[in-house]
Amino acid sequence: MNSGKAVNLPCFFSPYSLFDRQPVLPYNNKNSRSENPERIIMRKQSFIEKLIEGSLNQKELTISDLPHKRRQVYKHLILNRFGTLFSVGFFNALFWLPLFGWYYFSGFYVMEKLKSSDPSQVAELLGNLMFLEYGTMVPLFCIGALGLAGMFYVIRRMCWGESVSLVHDFKKGIKQSWKQFLLIGFLFGVAVFILEYLLHQYSLKLYESALVNVMLYAGTIIIYLLTMMQLIFAFPMSSLYWIGNFSLFKGSISFTFRYFPKNLLIFLISLFPFLVFIMLPSVLFRFIGILVFLLFGAMHTAVIWTLYSHSVFDKHINRQDYPDYVNKGINPLEEQAESNNDK
């Protein structure tokens, strides 16, 4: 595979190459520790080291060991590598703790400020309070996104059946993708600030027409949803390929609309169980919901998004330009393999 190889794109992309550099290869660095597993396995690990790093004695899955479907990959990871999943989720959660703490501190302050203010001044205070609560979160979203860079790289290796040294691979994921994940975190933080501000403004300025109010709320929520659904492809794409920023967002938007019904289902499956608690009015339940999501939900979501997005990448990118990546981590059934060979 030559560097700079262009990718023939589906019709909904521009005629220019979406991926102007070759993908990030797990074993393309001669100095990488993963190319010398003997150096890793020789060191004995304590229980804590195994929990944090993942077992260094994990074997690379053979063809016969691989699951036949991506849903079986998910089941295999939950049943056999949950300790490593929990560890990478814990590492990622550390990057989100500043946002988590500021969300509750600023929210409590805003609530008390509104209670003590004259009702006639609420509209004037709202802009400043929304900036205090959500505008100041933008840098914290950037910090959290760095944790996602490490987590998505580790989980991609796990989905491909490759052994993982958690600390080493987590740092490697951040090192190779931190710029784009930082940009994604910044843009998403700005989007959250704008959309939350609009929703609060609507609550204060209700129009006489109920239809107008419903359309404003519905339109804002749909934009909010579409913004989050783009992340299903943006995070795995940035972790897997060397790709320009414009092409990254263009590709994510294209896949979002092309597979909208399926994307919506994947989005709900991956996030809905945790969003139920977060959307409850009780502060205690929201606190528990966010905490559970940080420790368990984030890694659950990352696994689902990685497996699903890779199935889309196989159809539109990998099958023609990176055949070694097609169904990687999956052992196709014999009849499926034969049909693929015939093609």
Q: Confidence class of residue 51 from pLDDT cuts 50, 70 and 90?
A: low
Provide mean pLDDT across the span 24-42: 40
Provide mean pLDDT across the span 239-266: 93
Provide mean pLDDT across the span 199-207: 67
Q: What is the pLDDT of residue 22?
A: 39
DSSP summary character for residue 26: T
The answer to whether the CB of 199 falls within 8 A of the CB of 126 is no
Q: Confidence class of residue 90 from pLDDT cuts 50, 70 and 90?
A: very high
Residues in the chain: 343
The answer to whether the CB of 137 falls within 8 A of the CB of 125 is no
- The amino acid that residue 247 corresponds to is S
Mean of the per-residue pLDDT values of the chain: 78
For residue 276, give both structure tokens: 């139920």
User: Is the pLDDT at 59 greater than 70, yes or no?
Assistant: no
Euclidean distance between CA atoms 180 and 168, whole angstroms:
20
- HSE of 207, CA atoms in CB hemisphere, 13 A: 10
Provide mean pLDDT across the span 15-35: 38
Euclidean distance between CA atoms 169 and 150, whole angstroms:
7
Handedness of CA 332, 23, 238, 318 (dihedral sign): negative
Single pTM value for the model: 0.77
Using alpha carbons, list the distances in angstroms from residue 273 to 104, 126, 148, 298.
Answer: 21, 31, 20, 12
Q: What is the pLDDT of residue 106?
A: 83
Question: Rg (Cα) of the chain, in Å, rounded?
Answer: 22
Q: What is the pLDDT of residue 290?
A: 83
- Give the lowest-confidence range in 85-94, 217-226, 270-279, 322-331: 270-279
Provide mean pLDDT across the span 40-54: 56
User: Is the pLDDT at 48 greater than 70, yes or no?
Assistant: no
Euclidean distance between CA atoms 147 and 137, whole angstroms:
16
Euclidean distance between CA atoms 9 and 320, whole angstroms:
10
Degrees (nearest 5) of the Cα angle 301, 281, 134?
65
Q: Confidence class of residue 57 from pLDDT cuts 50, 70 and 90?
A: low
Provide mean pLDDT across the span 123-149: 86
Q: Confidence class of residue 61 from pLDDT cuts 50, 70 and 90?
A: low
User: Is the pLDDT at 43 greater than 90, yes or no?
Assistant: no
Euclidean distance between CA atoms 304 and 255, whole angstroms:
16
Provide mean pLDDT across the span 89-95: 95
Q: What is the pLDDT of residue 208?
A: 61
User: Is the pLDDT at 71 greater than 80, yes or no?
Assistant: yes
